[in-house]
Structure 1
Amino acid sequence: MFQVDLSKNRIQKLEERRFSDLNLREREHLQEWLAGQPDALGEELLIIQKEFDGFADTRERLDLLALDKDGQLVVIENKLDDSGRDVTWQALKYTAYVSGLTKTQIIDIYQQYLDRYCGGGNAAAQICEFLDVEELGEVILNPGNDQRLIFIAANFRKEVTSTVLWLREHRIDARCFKVVPYVFGEELFVDIQPVIPTPEAADFMIGMAEKETEAKTVQGVQRRSHKLRLEFWTQALDALRARGLSRYNNISPTKDHWLSSGTGVSGVVYNLIYSKDEARVELSIQKADKAENKWLFDELESKRDEIEKEFGAELNWKRMGEKKSSRIEYAKPFDGFNRENWPEMIEWLGQYIAKLDGALGDQLKRLNQSLKSGENLV
């Protein structure tokens, strides 16, 4: 790893160090870094417990327990300068232990984590938000035997890498990340890189897994809620197109509770939301860069009075500072699972998505020009 000195147009190599030389410890340092920034492992993960010891008839503890975006449990084992020989056996035991956890138990484990480390919160609601679902009844947590393993260390012994490769050959999602500390003067840097699988191989395998999941979904019997959504969006799209809302001309009905359309700003979309309890229109600001998302939201909120006057009602402004994305919403309660209410819901959605676009469209065009010219975040 190198530092770039633009003034001299030179690079200078950073000094690679050992964790032990820097008096850095596994639990107090590396584990806390990952718990606070789990996307350092290349994906969105929700840490639901650390130092988890909820195993029957054993006092063993796993380092970090997480959920991925598919509701799978992820066992994360951290080592520092050396992986040791037995880390895979240790992690496999933990994975076997957690394979039997039920949805109720997982929610309870996360609730304990929130109460102890995060000052409280609603575990079920936060899991729903992370998985992007309206209700936990729509998903299965910890399904089957597809639990995942992640190993983290500065160096991996051959016994470990060989075992991880063997596990992957047998369709067990095990991964290794190399973490190396560097120093430059008084500054400390940490480089975290995937070593098994390589990023290119991971992309291919994820694509194949998604294809297999899609095939199984098509062949399976859809749940009632999925059927309702597909039927609802089919009717809604016909009505929206009849209203002249051309943004929906090339959009197909879906089993999801939302329907998205572009705004002209990359990573910023309008959403129609259909749920059991309400209909909602929203602007979702979900660019890859969190700072850009918050800048866009703040710029729009600075015009709040003007926007709400144009819209004709007060909007719900959700900056969500701890999250990458932000939203601006407007909702109305409905019994969404009663088909008799659908015409009114669809009429409401069409009316208010047009109003939302009317209130925000010009503002978004202006801000998009600032983004393209590089004037943002100043």
Structure 2
Amino acid sequence: MFKIDKHQNRIEKLEQSSFTELGFRERAHLQEWLANKPDALGEELLIIQKEFAGFSDTSERLDLLAIDKQGSLVIIENKLDDTGRDVTWQAIKYASYCSRLTKDDIRQIFQSYLDRYSFGSKAEDELCAFLDADEYQEVVLNKGVTQRIMLVAANFRKEVTSTVLWLASFKLRIQCFRVTPFSRGEDLFLTIDQIIPTKDAEEFMIGLAAKAQDEIEGVEAEKARYTLRREFWSVLLAAINPRTDLFRTVAPGIRNWLSVNTGRRGISLALVVRRESARVEVYIDVGSKESNEHLFDTWFRDRTEIEKSFGETLTWERLDDKRACRIKAERPGNVFDREQWPEMIDYMVDAVIRLETAFRDRLAALPAK
């Protein structure tokens, strides 16, 4: 840090010191500075308690407890010249304890603080004023998993910054502030800099964390879908194999379809399940769009006879914007709802057997594979 001398048009370097050298202590000084000037941390905060020890079955105390403009609790942990190795673990514990606090718990905690430091003030009034609420009933506090952590220290160990960055990737709202004292004669100065995430990159890092978490959740959800679909196909194959040899060589998979070749090149019978439907189909892809459409059109001309043999109306999809063609029958059904499985499986097993029967002679009339 430099002091500007306007008269001499020069800058003078200030001497960087440590809190210990200057005789400052964590609770008596740094904590008091922040308690009385919380916006030094870059935003409006309402301090609601110091040395909070309202945790059951533990004698631990967090340094400062605050509320931000969204009504979220903010755990502020202060260290002087060095964070130590365990400050992240300590702060996470406090955040977990505070996650259980109800609106009335917070009101009582704040009222206790006001009774000690601002006698005569009412917690409800102060909270309404800070959160711009007309009535206390409108105030929302500590909603869901919205707790935040602020770590304040002169120096952050690598194991601390590494842990903080990793935790931030899981959308934990955690910030690190470096506080540095300077001296010039009898004059003392203090800088407070947000170093994780840096202020300019904070929005970007939050976006990256949200994206990374969404991707992780997406992968986990996909694994769950794979597992459920494999189980569904296992149940279906156990039901269909005693009735027909069509799928006897097919193993249950993780995809939303099972298919078998009909013995004719490029024509398959398939079972397909989705979140909205369960279907059976004849899929035509014999090599070229023209060949597919020619075969589809030939069968389409005989659709009345084919549907009579099948026993219900079929959906004929020429799929002019694609190479392949499809002929299908489907019913509503959700493969991810186990209660719907019996009805879906009964329909699909019966329908695919009927579909193969309806097309058997026409398939036999085609050139062999």
TM-score by length of 2: 0.55
AA aligned to 2:64 is L
Matched residues in 2 for 1:120 and 1:29: separation? 26
Residue 118 of structure 1 is matched in structure 2 by 118
1:206 deviates by 6.9
Residue 162 of structure 2 is matched in structure 1 by 162
Residue 109 of structure 2 is matched in structure 1 by 109
Matched residues in 1 for 2:208 and 2:127: separation? 26
Tell me the SS of whatever aligns to 2:137.
Answer: helix
Residue 45 of structure 2 is matched in structure 1 by 45
1:165 deviates by 0.5
Bigger shift: 55-64 or 113-122? 113-122
- Structure 1 segment 1-378 matched on structure 2, within 5 A: 1-204=1-204
Q: Cα 1:209–1:117, aligned 2, differ >3 Å: closer, same or farther?
A: farther
Tell me the SS of whatever aligns to 2:28.
Answer: helix
1:142 deviates by 0.2
Matched residues in 2 for 1:135 and 1:208: separation? 37
1:208 deviates by 9.5
Matched residues in 2 for 1:157 and 1:111: separation? 36
Residue 322 of structure 1 is matched in structure 2 by none
Q: Are the aligned partners of 1:111 and 1:120 in contact in 2 as well (CA < 8 Å)?
A: no
AA aligned to 2:34 is L
Tell me the SS of whatever aligns to 1:140.
Answer: coil
Q: Are the aligned partners of 2:197 and 2:205 in contact in 1 as well (CA < 8 Å)?
A: no
Matched residues in 1 for 2:120 and 2:45: separation? 19
TM-score by length of 1: 0.54
AA aligned to 1:64 is L
1:136 deviates by 2.5
Tell me the SS of whatever aligns to 1:166.
Answer: helix
1:185 deviates by 1.0
Cα-to-partner distance string for 1:166-222 (whole Å, 9 max, x where unaligned) = 111000000000000000110010100000011111244678999xxxxxxxxxxxx
Tell me the SS of whatever aligns to 1:194.
Answer: strand
Q: Are the aligned partners of 2:170 and 2:209 in contact in 1 as well (CA < 8 Å)?
A: no
Matched residues in 2 for 1:123 and 1:205: separation? 35
Q: Are the aligned partners of 2:168 and 2:209 in contact in 1 as well (CA < 8 Å)?
A: no
1:138 deviates by 1.8
Matched residues in 1 for 2:163 and 2:121: separation? 39
Matched residues in 2 for 1:98 and 1:49: separation? 12
1:31 deviates by 0.2
1:120 deviates by 3.1
1:28 deviates by 0.3
Cα-to-partner distance string for 1:148-177 (whole Å, 9 max, x where unaligned) = 000000000011101111111000000000
1:114 deviates by 0.5
Tell me the SS of whatever aligns to 1:127.
Answer: helix
AA aligned to 2:164 is V
Unaligned runs of at least 5 residues, structure 1: 211-378
Tell me the SS of whatever aligns to 1:107.
Answer: helix
Matched residues in 1 for 2:120 and 2:12: separation? 45
**Bigger-Rg structure (1/2):** 2
The CA RMSD measured in Å over matched residues stands at: 1.7
1:117 deviates by 1.4
1:119 deviates by 2.3
Cα-to-partner distance string for 1:121-155 (whole Å, 9 max, x where unaligned) = 01011101000111122232001111000000000
Cα-to-partner distance string for 1:101-127 (whole Å, 9 max, x where unaligned) = 000010110000001112230101110
Q: Are the aligned partners of 1:53 and 1:61 in contact in 2 as well (CA < 8 Å)?
A: yes
AA aligned to 1:39 is D
Matched residues in 2 for 1:207 and 1:171: separation? 9
Matched residues in 1 for 2:33 and 2:160: separation? 23
Cα-to-partner distance string for 1:38-84 (whole Å, 9 max, x where unaligned) = 00000000000000000000100000000000000000000000010
AA aligned to 2:120 is G
Matched residues in 1 for 2:51 and 2:126: separation? 21
User: How many residues end up aligned between the 2 structures?
Assistant: 210
